[in-house]
Structure 1
């Protein structure tokens, strides 16, 4: 399948965008679609796309932990992380182009995502400890707390679809989604977090923005946990 045919096929085979944050919806998925069509036309497999994603992400995360922050480092880290996130979208789209994915490929994708989610915040913790002139060591609790929030959020998002009963076929249109919702979800959008690293060369600005994102992500997790609990209690027939 050539590039143009693959691109047209992907345009009609996208995952539902409802419930996804603005960056993932409007930037990452479209970029991944073009890259998936190109990689498919050159014979790449979904697992190879996952490997490229892991390599780019690991390089960016390692730079955060190992190199003293500068303005150029922030741009490089952001580009590597964002590139890895694009490739994270590519593997699934490549699988759809090739007629469906595999269980091993899905496991690999989720495992890489889990490592990436956790090590990103731990790398920030290391960077703050090694290179930032913090007003107090208590600031180190921010990336530590963000690690916990990110891990719990990722776990819930992966687990909940396996616990929900299969949806019955329906002709009813889904409720209208608020146009603001996709932007309110940005604090938990990994792609948005990638570009926050352009502030890495300005430690105070980065520290404050990262803290605000933690507060927003923690609030969203609290809302999600309550929603998931009541949803599953209803499935159990309990109140």
Structure 2
């Protein structure tokens, strides 16, 4: 006879959605440093997606693939479809759903007893493609379909640079912590942080960036909002680099 534990590692479980959500609530990463949208919207949304995927018997890699499809659809529309209000709303919806599913694959892996190196690799590769592709698609879309000043195209290119450096730094930080025996983010404590810190980090939240594309049909509105988010991300990087260097300097030699 198949036990519940055996089923949770592969087959669809005999658990209802509510029971699965309750189990997922105990398999969450800490919220330290998490921006407002990621903390209170995206992670709960990802929890629902993970519970639905668990009930359907989907693997974490399958959820990652679905996330990639939604994100790639939104990115492709930015580069290939002339801006309009419906198009902007569709892009924002695709990116937000892709982000929610991106939160779901890790939660699903933890619920099933842990992920695999291949699954982690796939998740990070999709994230890397998203980081680069999104901003390049913005530059392409603005160039093809709008009459913005050519200097405006430097905004998505600069945003791309900042996001790539942040992504690389975060991956490198985790690798060095693991290499030198320090706790990684996944192994760290699950302490909660004050709401004020989450609010302050809101402009750097990918979820906010995803929702900003709802204004893509109105270039005069979208460009200032997008540029402000890019500036906030740049300021975050400047401050974070100092903090991260100090953390790396304290690692055991």
Say yes or no: TM over 0.5: yes
Q: Quote the offset at 1:5 in angstroms.
A: 2.3
Q: Once the 2 structures are TM-superposed, how far is the Cα of residue 179 of structure 1 from its aligned partner?
A: 2.4
| Partner residue in 2 for 1:156 | 169
What is the correspondence of 1:128-167 to structure 2 with a 5 Å cutoff? 128-134=142-148, 136-164=149-177, 165-167=181-183
The alignment covers a number of residue pairs equal to 232
CA distance in 1 between counterparts of 2:32 and 2:19 reads 26
* Equivalent residue in structure 2 for 1:63, among 64, 68, 77: 77
The equivalent of 2:66 in structure 1 is: 52
Alignment of 1:172-211 (within 5 A): 177-211=193-227
Q: Which moved more, 1:50-59 or 1:207-216?
A: 207-216
SS in 1 for 2:27: coil
Question: 1:225 is matched with which residue: 241, 245, 248?
Answer: 241
User: What residue ranges of structure 1 are gaps of 5+ in the alignment?
Assistant: none
Query: What's the offset of the Cα at 1:187?
Result: 2.4
CA contact (8 A) 2:204 2:233 kept: yes
Tell me the CA shift for residue 231 of structure 1: 1.9
Instruction: Verify: 1:13 aligned to 2:27, yes or no.
Output: yes
Evaluate the alpha carbon distance shift between residue 167 and residue 36 of structure 1 in structure 2; reply closer, same or farther with a 3 A threshold. Answer: closer
Runs of 4+ deviating beyond 6 Å: 173-176
Aligned residue number for residue 98 of structure 2: 84
Out of 85-94 and 225-234, give the one that drifted further.
225-234
Distance across 1 between alignment mates of 2:111 and 2:168: 27
Deviation at residue 95 of structure 1 after TM alignment:
0.5
Gaps of 5+ in 2: 1-12
How high is the TM-score relative to the length of structure 1?
0.92
- Backbone CA RMSD of aligned residues: 1.8
